[in-house]
Structure 1
């Protein structure tokens, strides 16, 4: 997801470790998700933003916003109507020029309860199979661990 000194695979492996540690410190599902996002954000080294939103009765409420202010103001515009629904069950990705946006739904008890949006600008970034695998692994980790949290 980011331009870094180490290769993408090594970077994603490092993120996996930090995401795993987030679970150790969380007391609630929402705290767990917040800690994961904060851990990933701290490890990135370029202009990007993360937004965590809670979905309730079709209404999204932003509960965490990290990163570039210019992205956060426009965060949910590109692809918002298409991706951000409570029926979305898999991650989405949109690329428009140098702008990249990942939409990651987080289902709890069979309904999409949270959305993570990651937006960044990088002309050289190429979305690959590694990204899809990483996002799938994170979602599976959340699914497995969330049942032990309230």
Structure 2
């Protein structure tokens, strides 16, 4: 049988209870953390899809170490898997070594480009570097966000 007096006391106790929302903020925080973790996992899955992700480019100089004076550098542009990339523009500029202007070239079907440079070092400088940058071919899914290799310049 239903005890009405006990039910009335229970309802009255609930009306006077001010702790009803104490657990709510904790539940919200837990839900937020779980939701953020799920979103992170989903974004990683989408980012890993080959058709949607861009491939990072790198430059492989040959030779990697040069002496001061006029010479040619062969620069191969490759994607993240090491495959050659054609149509990319390679830019060679002075780092801690100096060059007269900026040398540029576009890669061919084999991913290679040849540039002529004349690196120089300061009077008391024994070595320096030339910086290499890549401008990805237009309309392709390539990027160059990370720093590329450098060419080491040593005194003759």
Q: TM-score, normalised by structure 1?
A: 0.31
Higher-helix-fraction structure: 1
Q: Greater Rg, structure 1 or structure 2?
A: 2
Q: TM-score, normalised by structure 2?
A: 0.30
